[in-house]
Structure 1
Amino acid sequence: MRRRSEQGQVTVLIVGFAVFLAIAVAVVVDATAAYLQRQGLSTLADGAALHGADLGATGVDIYHGGVPEGRLEVTAAQAAAAVRDYLRDVGAHQRYPGLRHSVSVDPRTDRVTVRLTAPLELPLTFPGSPDRPSVGATGSAVSGVDGP
C-alpha cells in the first residue's frame, strides 16, 4: 500500500493566509484613511457652518465685533458667501482637491448647515474596491442672541 504524499499542501495554506492577511491590511489602512479624512472634513464643515452663521447673520464677525441688538436673521446668500470665503481662506480646496460644498439655511431657526464631500484617495487598493470613493461630513451652527 502506497502512502499519498502531502508535500506542497502547506504551501497552499501559507499562500492563502498571506493573501487573506494582505487584504485585511489593505482594508484596515483604507478604512483608517477614510476615517481620518472624514474627521478632517467634519472639523472643516463645523468651522464653515460657524463662520456662515456668524457672518450670514450680521455681515461682520460677531466674535470680534460683538452681537447687534435684536434678532439675528441669517440670509442664505450671506451664509453661502461666508462659507465660500472661509473655505478659500483656510485652503480647503488645496487640502482636499475636488472638494464640493453645499449650504442651506433653515428660515425658522436660522440654522446654517454645511455639507462637504471630497474624493477619497485610498493608499491601498484591492479588487472589488470602489473606483472613485468619496467621503462627506456635515456641520451646522446657529448665531443668536440669548436675552434675559
Structure 2
Amino acid sequence: MSDYKVKKSDAEWRAQLDPMQFEVTRHAATERAFTGQYWDHFADGRYRCVCCGEPLFDAATKFDAGCGWPSFSAAVKDEGVERVMDHSHGMIRVEVRCQNCGAHLGHVFDDGPAPTGERFCINSAAIDFEPR
C-alpha cells in the first residue's frame, strides 16, 4: 500500500462524503450497474477523485462499454492511479485507487479499445465531473 499524501480518519471521510461515496472509496464497495450518475454521461471535461480532487480521467478517453459503469481507456496520467491485485469475490482483478488519497475507484481490465487496450471501470460515486 502506498504512503498517500492525503490522509484522513474514517470520521473525517464520513463528514466529507455521502454514504455511497464513503462505502465505495473507503471500503471498496461497488455501486450497482446502470445506477451511478456518470455511467451514461458524455459531456466534455475531466473526472476528479471525489475524495481529494485529483484529476483522474478525461472525457476524451470515456467510452460506452455497455457494462453500466463509467469506462475510460486511459487515466489522465499513469502515476495518478495505483494498481493493486484484488482477489476478492472469488475473482482475480486489478483494483485501481487514487494515488493521492488511496480512494477505491474501480477496476481495470484488458478488454478496452485501442490504443491502450484497457478499460478502467470506475464507480460514479468515486468521481466528480468538472466541465471544460
Report the TM-score when normalising by structure 1. Answer: 0.22
Q: Highest CA radius of gyration, 1 or 2?
A: 1
- What TM-score do the two structures reach when normalised by structure 2? 0.23
